[in-house]
Amino acid sequence: MADEIIFGPWIGAVTSTQATIKAAVAPGVSPQLVVSRNSNLSNPTQHQPTRMSVAPEMTVVTFKLNALSANQQFHYALQINGSPVTSRQGRFRTFPTEGSPASFTFACAGDAKGGQLFSSYSNHRVFEMIHDEDPLFFIHLGDLHYGDSNSSTVADHVDEYRQVLEAERQALLYRNVPLAYTWDDHDYCGNASDSRSTGRRAARLAYQRCVPHYPLVEAGGVDGEHDVAIYQEPFTVGRVRFIITDTRSERSDRTAADSAAKTILGAHQKQWLKETLFEGKEQFRLQVWVSSVPWIGNPDVDGEDSDPWFSYATERAEIGDFIHNNGIRNLLMLCADSHMIALDDGSNNRGATGAGGFPTFCASPLDRSNSIKGQPYSHGTFATHRGQYGLISITDNGGATVQVTITGKHENTPLVTLAFDSPMA
């Protein structure tokens, strides 16, 4: 029966009451999903697909679970011909109740090899190590693979997800640790790709077909496949809000002269981000902005036509000034793209570098070669190892602030740590 599963299952879009599980099965196969509070899958509930995307090569099935209990462990498996496929059994924990004090740890990282530049898709032991950290969820910060497909055919982009999930350690992680994922360039339409890419529409549709994601803002929360950017409705864990942006499919040409028209986010997403950050400054103790590309840097040093935010200086200044002028002091940015661990306490986010003074953390590479984009970082850069990732712990005892502890790691070894209270004074 496992042979009838082409990829998955993998899990994402988890909240305190919901979860989404996706998988691809061979044509003609009609799976169900069994969900249990017990690891042996006893006394399960059975679920039919809420959506099926049928294509000649495979059928992608979506299961949306609702009305789950908060902060509870669940186990699941696809069921084919009446029997659970236990060799691909997964588990997840629903999030603590939104708005209530909760302490938790999550992991984050980006940049895993795979695709036309490599002979295989990454099966590096770092994925197993992240799994063994037992985080509540994992934020993938972009470049899930290096497929670099700019094809206008949806199936070509779907095939990249299949190959990622054929790697045993990646499949284990994504089956057992809920995923929140935004792309960067190589898993969108190729190196330095942007809104002009030939494969833009196909990449967007393939992401929505295959990835268990939170509702897309521009789709109005309606499930399906829409030619829209993949920035997502924020999700909340306790008193912490997570904001996932799309820094690729709306961006303009990186080589264009800098101006107010040169954009990473596009006008609609940028306005949504501002409104979201402003609304959350009083409501949440911390807001985590998932950017995928670095914020800190200087185009005169790093090159004015490079990918990160500092090559879009006018837009970066606009957003940085908005954060500063509105007193948004509960912000942490996460990024990858640059293949390094890098950590800044906010002291390098002011003035011409993008006002606001918020901490930024770059967590990469999962297993790509190392590189550095952007300097300086108050707590340094670490670009000598593969197998790097981040762990972020939130300690919330119900007070006016939460403690945030960021650890950049190489495999199991800590490289750098920063602790601070949020909102910052």
Note the pLDDT tens digit of each residue in 268-284: 999 999 999 999 999 99
- Rounded distance between C-alpha atoms, residue 14 and residue 137, angstroms: 9
Q: What is the pLDDT of residue 120?
A: 81
- Rounded distance between C-alpha atoms, residue 403 and residue 353, angstroms: 26
- Rounded distance between C-alpha atoms, residue 381 and residue 254, angstroms: 24
Q: What is the pLDDT of residue 304?
A: 55
DSSP 115: S
Kindly tell me if the per-residue pLDDT of 299 is higher than 80. no
Mean of pLDDT values over 111-124: 85
For residue range 53-71, what is the model confidence (pLDDT) as tens digits?
A: 999 999 999 999 999 999 9
Q: Which fold has domain 2-93?
A: Immunoglobulin-like (2.60.40)
Query: What would the two tokens of residue 25 be?
Result: 């099965």
* Prior bond of 56 cis (ω within 30°): no
Distances (CA, A) of 310 to 197, 297, 320, 373: 22, 6, 11, 10
Alpha helices in 294-425 (DSSP H): 299-302, 313-325
pLDDT grade, residue 351 (50/70/90)?
Answer: very low
Phi, psi dihedrals of residue 230, rounded to the nearest 5°: -100, 20
Mean of pLDDT values over 131-156: 97
pTM of the model: 0.97
- Rounded distance between C-alpha atoms, residue 57 and residue 48, angstroms: 21
In the predicted model, what is the mean pLDDT of the chain?
95
DSSP 265: S
Q: What is the pLDDT of residue 307?
A: 86
**SS3 (DSSP) at 2:** helix
Is residue 241 within 8 A of residue 284, CB to CB? The reply is: yes
Domain ranges in the chain are 2-93, 104-422
Max Cα-Cα span within the chain:
62
Higher pLDDT, 78 or 348: 78
Q: What is the pLDDT of residue 231?
A: 98
For residue range 198-239, what is the model confidence (pLDDT) as tens digits?
A: 999 999 999 999 999 999 999 998 888 999 999 999 999 999
Give the CATH superfamily of 104-422: Alkaline phosphatase D (PhoD) (3.60.21.70)
Supply angle C-alpha 381, 387, 393, rounded to 5.
70
2-93 and 104-422: identical CATH topology: no
Q: What is the pLDDT of residue 302?
A: 66
Kindly tell me if the per-residue pLDDT of 116 is higher than 90. no
pLDDT grade, residue 305 (50/70/90)?
Answer: low
Mean of pLDDT values over 300-305: 62
Q: What is the pLDDT of residue 301?
A: 67
DSSP states of 5-19: EEEEEEEE---SS-E
Kindly tell me if the per-residue pLDDT of 379 is higher than 90. yes
- Rounded distance between C-alpha atoms, residue 172 and residue 168, angstroms: 6
Kindly tell me if the per-residue pLDDT of 306 is higher than 90. no
